[in-house]
Amino acid sequence: MAIESRPEYIRRDNLTPLLAEYKGDLTVCIGLEVADDVALRKLRKGFSLKDVEKAQSLLKSMGLSSRAYILAGAPFTQSAVHQAIESVQYAKGLGFDEISLLAAYPMEGTQGYELWKKGEWRLLDLKEFNDIAMAARQIMPSIDVSCVGLMKFVKRSREPNIK
């Protein structure tokens, strides 16, 4: 069983009943996004790397499996390749059992969508994402990678009614 949580909800009192319910078959997933406090603030995530570190430490101390979601090509990052690789290294260093690398894409109604519409955020192309994924696999061979959301968005954005 896998659940997704924000770091601030990862507390012993929240996890104890889940441990009893799922008897060791539980993975807690955190949307880390990027290992950069400045980018996290600009993305309005509402948490810091210190919060992620505290949550991950508790998960490990309770014997729970963990997964970090990392965005490749997120807005507000200086270099998509460098930031994604640095984030994978950070998550691995914290001891996340699993890491998922996802190609960032804008979702309607979000700040990222507005940045993309104004041309202030350039999405990764497939080659760039593949280069990042190959470098990430050098750090963590079992990393899960996906650009499905990005590809669907690109296809949809080419439709005449999308601006």
Task: Establish if 8 belongs to a structural domain.
Answer: yes
Pairing between β-strand 27-33 and β-strand 98-103 as defined by DSSP bridges: unpaired
- Please state the domain count of the chain: 1
Task: Establish if 97 belongs to a structural domain.
Answer: yes
145 alpha carbon, distance to own chain's centre = 11
Task: Establish if 150 belongs to a structural domain.
Answer: yes
Q: What is the CATH number of the domain that holds 57?
A: 3.30.750.200
Q: Give per-residue burial for 97-109: e unless 16+ CB within 10 Å, then b.
A: ebbbbbbbbbeee
The interaxial angle of helices 80-94 and 49-61, nearest 10 deg, is 30
Task: Establish if 111 belongs to a structural domain.
Answer: yes
In this structure, the number of other CB atoms found within 10 A of the CB of residue 25 comes to: 9
pLDDT at 40: 93
Task: Establish if 101 belongs to a structural domain.
Answer: yes
Burial class (CB in 10 A: 0-12, 13-18, 19+), 34: buried
Task: Establish if 147 belongs to a structural domain.
Answer: yes
Residues in the chain where the model's pLDDT stays below 50: 163
pLDDT at 108: 87
The closest alpha carbon to 43, from 69, 67, 66, belongs to 69
pLDDT at 112: 87
pLDDT at 158: 77
- Domain membership of residue 131 as a residue range: 2-157
Task: Establish if 162 belongs to a structural domain.
Answer: no
Give CA separation, 86 vs 14, 17, 75, 82, 92, in Å.
Answer: 30, 34, 15, 6, 10
Task: Establish if 69 belongs to a structural domain.
Answer: yes
